Structure 1
Amino acid sequence: MKKGEIYEGIIEKVDFPNKGRVVIDGKTVIVKNGIPGQKVRFLINKKRGDRLEGRLLEVLEKSPMEKRGPVCSIFPDCGGCMYQTMEYGEQLKMKAEQVKNMLDKAIADAGQVDDDGNPDYVFEGIKGSPMEFAYRNKMEFSFGDEYKDGPLALGLHKKGSTYDVLNAFDCKLVHEDMTKILRCVGGYFRSRGVSFYKKMQHVGYLRHLLLRRANTTGEILVNLVTTSQEEHDLEMLKEELLSLPLEGEIVGFLHIINDSLSDMVQSDETRVLYGKDYFYEEILGLKFKVTPFSFFQPNSYGAEVLYNTAREYIGDTKDMTVFDLYSGTGTISQILSPVAKKVIGVEIVEEAVQAAKENAELNGISNCRFIAGDVLKVIDEIEEMPDFIVLDPPRDGIHPKALPKIVGYGVDKMVYISCKPSSLARDLDLFLREGYRVERICCVDQFCQTVHVETVTLLVRKP
């Protein structure tokens, strides 16, 4: 096989994350963005020794697992919901199998096996999201065009492209309120011929539409992100937005100025054009203040399942000092606070730490302390010693230099919440080699239709 050659074959299985396996003449090619059982045409685009990767060109035949039609008009061009033609139960089954296969190997390789050489732990399957569709409480839409010099589009990036934008007028991951707002904003600027920001030339006005909607209250923040290169009166847009027939309510309309060369949504200046710049969301009876850039689980319904699972794994923490490392906005810390002596949260993002402090005060919680800083450095400075540790790191997992320090505390139990099973598999190797064993693992699906999944792991120190 050579780069540039085109082949056809059947995707035999899909490994996490999104790695389809196609066997041609005894050689395995990794082809992303497919479903087991699909017959596909692909182009060899990477070859490193015996490792081959192919770029999907076309699905020639559907998989037997695809038992329903697409639910939106831009599938499969939009790369967000690769599994939407699979019934939800089949998605869950596949994700659970992917995670189990990966972690089985990691745990067995680290030596935690039974007398028959099989990985020796309890895998408790996967818990689904209470809502399969319309579950996202946050969505970032981009302005652009579907093709070069085409009409203004507002929606999601085309799969594999950082430039082409597809109009997401019927995205099923968000509530209908968000769709109505997107249509209103897109139509408003399209009818007026307003320019969008071109990333290569660094010219233009419109950049992003960031929407947040509280699942429990229906309160909505509309955040229009533009450059400062042009000035437009947004009063008429505000009036159009406020007159929309929504199930929820727009409580804030913000104009965010971002002149950064990066495509990341951020603020150089924020102008509140209507209402306020926050709302409150509730999870497990606790209130959390959410601002445009707050880190908050994007699926509030799924987050309750995740945190209930974590709370069950954590168990009794009465009279214990708990370290919540990578604590974000302090959700887990505050859930544990009623049944712990003290909770200390460490988080590198200062805005998240400030939000955690405000949320704790809002909920009348006084036994949580939140520290802004890198876990790697902060744990050397904390005088208290933990009785229990909760780990909820970002996608890349725990810093390799922080792992020995965490293990060095010697706590009897830890719970590791992972949003990327491959990072978890890597980190488990050190935990298991340093005297811990994996007791239980459970997956929680917060991202229906997509390739992503969360994993909760209970680690217990060997006697």
Structure 2
Amino acid sequence: MVKKNEIIEVNIDRVDFPNKGKAYYEGQEIRFKGGIAGQKARIRISRKKKEYLEAKLVDIVEKSSIEGESGCPHYGICGGCSYQTLTYEAELKYKEGQIIKLFEKAGLDINYLGIEGSPLVHGYRNKMEYTFGDEEKDGPLALGLHMKGRFYEVVNTDECNIVDEDFTSIRQHVLKYFQVRGTAFYNKRRTEGYLRHLVIRKALSTGEILVNLVTTSQDTLDKEEFVDMLVKLDLKGDIKGILHTTNDRLGDVVVAETLELLHGRDYIIEEILGLRFEISPFSFFQTNTFGAEKLYSIVRDFVGDKKSNLVYDLYSGTGTIAQILSPVAEKVVGIEIVEEAVEKARDNARLNNLDNVEFMAGDVLKVVDDLKEKPDLIVIDPPRDGIHPKAINKIIDFNPETYVYVSCNPVTLVRDLKVFAERGYRINKVKLMDMFPRTP
């Protein structure tokens, strides 16, 4: 009988979505986060439950047969990517198997159309949120991603391959700028220091770049000198805006208590499927631009060419899907709870000269009660929690001919689809789109 905190060696039997490893030891099931099926791993028992044990992954002793060598020198230290040792073909097959298993477990009969890979596997991200810190206690200033399984230590990601070279260049020069000046990072243990995060956004279609430095108010920034350093960089893209965010909150989350524009404008413009979208520092936008183009092309293909009188786009965010569907509808109504996102959606609709798209600010759960017109089509793109349990039957009560459900969480997707099936709807087709290569 294993004991709490005991470290044991196991063969990882399988990894279920989302990244839930399972193994067996002396007949007992053990669950833990991470790993790849087929790996031999050391795990530390953390909790005993009635039907299984919980554990934490300590390290990998032996690779899985589906693994090769990592193409990233930070792999194993950085907490950013888990699938760097898989070929992309193997990664897609691995992810596909996890999702199909969810549908099978839920007893849902589907017409499965396969998985689409990301157009870019390397350099695909259009946003990175770097953290200031140190790689070891009291070591030199670092700027990058958190170490694997660590909350305080940071890895300098000089050769990160999921971003293009402009991200790396900006990150390196900002780090050097503050190293030379001896500026202190914000220490979360002591709640003191200045530098917190560096957020970089780059529109991959247009090359426009937005840089946002996040600090506390415990020091001052030489704004003119900082801007001058950045605008002189030799980049492939073009820095359109530099911002300074002040955040004195205790949580390790990028929020703006104050936001100051230091240079240029406070947004960049990205292009997707012939439409232009303004992206501000805190706007939600798919982090894989070219993957998003494929995703929205799938949505448009599922909708078809038949023109609808009225389309509802629920959980519409900044209105990307609503605007992409505007050519096949007399009217599209988007509903989104975040007011800033609604304002940005309206701005983008004006930018694209679309007069048949409108957006409403409010909680889908409440707003659907006020919608009186019956739509021909409803597109649903909810957050990771899926459709609110109290809202789903209200949405089904509209009884349109077709729903298109876009999901970022297959677990809540199959949960919600079971309700649709119970109400008489048939799942016509399912297609997967990998938006995050190298990650679960």
Do the two structures share a fold, i.e. TM-score over 0.5?
yes
Question: Residues of 1 paired with 2:158 and 2:316: CA distance?
Answer: 35
CA–CA separation in structure 1 for the residues paired with 2:393 and 2:407:
18
Partner of 1:33: 34
Q: Partners in 2 of 1:121 and 1:446 — Cα distance?
A: 21
Establish whether residue 88 from structure 1 lines up as the match of residue 84 from structure 2: no
The runs of 4+ residues in structure 1 deviating greater than 6 Å are: none
Match of 1:405 among 385, 394, 407: 394
State yes or no: 1:218 paired with 2:207: yes
Q: How many angstroms apart in 2 are the aligned matches of 1:378 and 1:296?
A: 23
* 417 and 290 in structure 1: CA distance in 2 versus 1, 3 angstrom threshold: same
* Residue 15 of structure 1: aligned partner: 16
What root-mean-square deviation, in Å, do the aligned CA atoms of Structure 1 and Structure 2 show?
1.3
| Alignment correspondent of 1:298 | 287
C-alpha separation in 2, matches of 1:63 and 1:141: 31
Moved more, 15-24 or 26-35: 26-35
Partner of 1:116: none
- Give yes or no for contact 2:15–2:34 (8 Å, CA) kept in 1: no
Instruction: For 1:183-262, list aligned pairs within 5 A.
Output: 183-262=172-251
TM superposition shift of 1:154: 0.7
- Alignment of 1:368 onto 2:369: no
Looking at structure 1, the residues matched to 26 and 114 of structure 2 have their Cα atoms a distance apart, in angstroms, of 35
The number of residue pairs the alignment matches comes to: 439
Residue of structure 2 equivalent to 1:169 = 158
Q: Deviations over 1:83-123 (max 9, x none)?
A: 011000000001111001001221x1xxxxxxxxxx53211
How many Å apart are 1:288 and its aligned residue? 0.3
Q: State which drifts further: 196-205 or 57-66.
A: 196-205
| Partner amino acid, structure 2, of 1:65 | I
Aligned pair 1:349/2:338, yes or no?
yes
Structure 2: give runs of 5+ residues left out of the alignment.
none
The 5 Å alignment of 1:436-455 reads 436-451=425-440
Amino acid at match of 1:136: R
Amino acid at match of 1:444: M
What does the per-residue CA deviation read over 1:329-363, in whole Å, with 9 as the maximum and x for residues that have no partner? 10110011111011000001111100100111111
Contact 2:72/2:84 (<8 A) preserved: no
Q: Which moved more, 1:48-57 or 1:219-228?
A: 48-57
Whole-angstrom distance in 2 between the partners of 1:398 and 1:161: 32
Please state how far the C-alpha of 1:380 moved relative to its aligned partner: 0.9
Q: Which blocks of at least 5 consecutive residues in structure 1 are unaligned? A: 109-118, 452-463
What does 1:268-417 correspond to in 2, within 5 Å? Answer: 268-417=257-406
Contact between 2:308 and 2:376, CA under 8 Å: does it hold in 1? no
Q: Which amino acid aligns with 2:424?
A: G
- TM-superposed CA distance for 1:379, in Å, is 0.9
AA at the equivalent of 1:181: I
SS in 2 for 1:370: strand
The one of 101, 104, 125 aligned to 1:136? 125
CA distance in 2: counterparts of 1:332 and 1:232, whole angstroms: 39
Q: CA deviation at 1:320?
A: 2.2
Inter-partner Cα distance in structure 1 for 2:85 and 2:432? 22
Equivalent residue of 2:385, what SS?
A: coil
What is the one-letter code of the residue matched to 1:93? K
Mapped partners of 1:346, 1:200: distance in 2: 41
Deviation of 1:317 (Å): 4.5
C-alpha offsets along residues 293-312 of structure 1, whole Å, 9 cap, x if unaligned?
11111000000111111111
Which range is displaced more, 18-27 or 293-302?
Answer: 18-27
Q: What letter corresponds to residue 150 of structure 2 in structure 1?
A: S
Render the CA deviation track for 1:166-187: whole Å, top value 9, x for unaligned: 1112211111100000000111
Match of 1:149 among 132, 135, 138: 138
Contact 2:203 2:268 in 1 (8 A): yes
Greater Cα shift, 212-221 or 54-63? 54-63
Residue aligned with 2:44, SS? strand
Aligned to 2:229, what secondary structure does the other structure show? helix
Among 170, 182, 190, the alignment partner of 1:181 is: 170
The answer (yes or no) to whether the contact 2:308–2:377 under 8 Å persists in 1 is no
How far apart are residue 277 of structure 1 and its match? 1.1
Shift of 1:426: 1.5
Q: Which amino acid counterpart does residue 13 of structure 2 have in structure 1?
A: E
C-alpha separation in 2, matches of 1:229 and 1:85: 42
Please list the CA deviations of residues 223-246 of structure 1 after superposition, one character each: whole Å capped at 9, or x if unmatched: 101111211213223222222221
How far apart, CA to CA, are the structure 1 residues paired with 2:156 and 2:275?
Answer: 36
For 2:109 and 2:201, locate their aligned partners in 1 and report how far apart those are by CA, in whole Å: 43
